Amino acid sequence: MNIPWSHLWEKFKLQVFEQGGYHTILDGLKNTLIIAIGGFIIGIILGAVLAILQLLPNNKVTKVLRGFAKGYVGVFRGTPIVVQLLLGWYVLKPILGIRSASALLWGMVIFGMNSGAYVSEIIRGGILSVDKGQMEAGRSLGLSYMKTMFKIVLPQAFKNSLPSLGNELIAIVKETSVAGFISVVDLQVAFKQQDTAYNPIICYLMLALVYIVLVLLFTALIKLIERRMRASDNR
């Protein structure tokens, strides 16, 4: 079957550039970046807390905290992000009586909570990769367990975990394509709205291209950060 590529491209240009469809695409790009970057920041903070909770010295109190952290990780790693979005938007939000939160904000929070489960395992591995002597040295200087963790161990753990954290950021960028399930106009929804006037082939090829460019940009940024951190270590 011969596909009239030039005809499809002309319809795409007409819809997107001449009829203003690019405004929707730019809004979708903005929303995708807000969810991805905001969710990743939430995931970093939450993941660090969960990782530390799982590695606390064992006693009656910390046993409960460790159990909570492991349960949290198990639930969010064991269920699809789509299910979490739908449960959060249609079940948890009404139960909590939250009315003012937009779908965009709620999506960012859910993605952050999901990412926190994966980031916690990444950071936990990074903490375990730090020599135990670092903790012992901090404690010998009179620092508490938590101060030693935050001032000495955790910075090294983040540095060791940077490549994996970068992969998690890229994963979030791609996973935001399901944010439309709770009425967020992300990139996927924005491009889908443009396929009403022409064959969707060009539309979804362009969508794939935009995601590829985003992933390449984030990959380059992560590699730049890694190089600068290695350079600082060699000084």
pLDDT tens digits, one per residue of 84-126: 999 999 998 888 888 777 899 999 999 999 999 999 999 999 9
Collapsing DSSP to helix, strand or coil, 52 comes out as helix
Q: What is the pLDDT of residue 101?
A: 78
Which of 225, 194, 142, 218 lies closest to 13 in space, CA to CA?
194
Over residues 199-216, the mean pLDDT reads: 89
pLDDT band at 3 (very low <50, low <70, confident <90, very high): low
φ/ψ of 150, rounded to 5, equals -75, -35
Q: How many CB atoms lie within 10 A of CB 185?
A: 20
Which of 43, 178, 158 lies closest to 112 in space, CA to CA?
43
pLDDT band at 198 (very low <50, low <70, confident <90, very high): low
**Residue 63: is it exposed, middle or buried by C-beta count within 10 angstroms (0-12/13-18/19+)?**
exposed
Asked which of 36-50, 67-81, 141-155, 212-226 is least confident by mean pLDDT, the reply is 141-155
**What whole-number distance in Å separates Cα of residue 89 and Cα of residue 14?**
36
pLDDT digits (tens, 9 = 90+) for 9-63: 777 777 777 777 888 889 999 999 999 999 999 999 999 999 999 998 888 888 9
**What whole-number distance in Å separates Cα of residue 7 and Cα of residue 22?**
19
Whole-structure pTM value: 0.90
Average pLDDT over the chain, rounded to an integer: 89
